[in-house]
Amino acid sequence: MTAATFASSTTTTPREPRPARAPRPSGRRSPTAPPPPPDDPEQALLARLRAGEDAAYEELVRSASPRLLATLRRMLRSDDDAHDALQETFLAAFRALPRFEGQSKLSTWLHRIAVNSALMKLRTRRRHPEESIDELLPRFEEDGHFTADTASRGQLVDEEIDEARRRAAVRRSIDGLPEAHRTVIVLRDVEGLSTDEAAVQLGITPDATKMRLHRARQALRTLLERELGRSVAA
């Protein structure tokens, strides 16, 4: 696939991405490979990719870009960074295609590459020390009883909040988490990775992942209740 073909195929995303070279996989073409089952379009596309068909590369970019871009935007919170990571994802995928054994779905494999691209960008960002989420976590009295945030909880009237506003509140609340806690929420609860998969992506142990996720969910609940409380009050 030529660089011009790849660059033009990525223009389906909202912003014109920067030109990038997408090298054709270096392995031999295999036009005589047995055809995949007709009821498995992803395997059919994979066979065309391995045969070096330019139209297959363009089809992959068009079909996979929307979901991957949404994931990258959730993780990076920057449209420019998300588009850059999207191009990096496809470049990495095209280079690695000869080594893809097909043990997982092509879409799953691409998703993992995209998540890894986002995490690499997050690691290279220069940031101030992350804010503590302690004030968002549950608090307990000296006798062990839970201290409820009655000001925010008393305002929650579920039936008065439509689903669209609820989803928007969830997105804003996730965005309000510090980066490390937002990332683990996105990987586990939005993207559906297992604890072990998320741990590998984050470079920490599964136990540490579980602890971080637990704290992140508690903080998210507090932010969401405050957000929904403001929606009802408005």
- pLDDT at residue 2, as a whole number: 45
| CATH number, span 134-233 | 1.10.10.10
Of residues 119 and 159, which shows the higher confidence score?
A: 119
Strand, coil or helix: what is 145?
Answer: coil
Q: Is the pLDDT of residue 144 over 80?
A: no
Query: What's CA 134's distance to the chain center, in Å?
Result: 25
End-to-end CA distance of the chain: 53
| Averaged pLDDT, 101-119 | 88
Segment holding 109, helix H or strand E: helix 106-124
Which residues have CB under 8 Å from 172's CB, separation 6+?
227
- pLDDT at residue 150, as a whole number: 42
Q: What is the pLDDT of residues 4-63, one digit of tens each?
A: 454 455 444 445 445 444 445 544 444 445 554 546 788 889 889 988 899 999 999 999
> Domain 3-124, CATH 1.10.8.60 — does that match?
no
Of residues 43 and 230, which shows the higher confidence score?
A: 43
| Average pLDDT in the chain | 76
Q: What is the pTM of this model?
A: 0.60
Percent residues over pLDDT 70 in the chain: 65
- pLDDT at residue 225, as a whole number: 86
Where in the chain are all domains bearing CATH 1.10.1740.10? 3-124
Q: What is the pLDDT of residues 166-214, one digit of tens each?
A: 788 888 888 888 888 999 999 998 888 899 989 988 889 999 999 999 9
Closest residue by Cα to residue 98 from 148, 29, 25? 25
Where in the chain are all domains bearing CATH 1.10.10.10? 134-233
- pLDDT at residue 32, as a whole number: 47
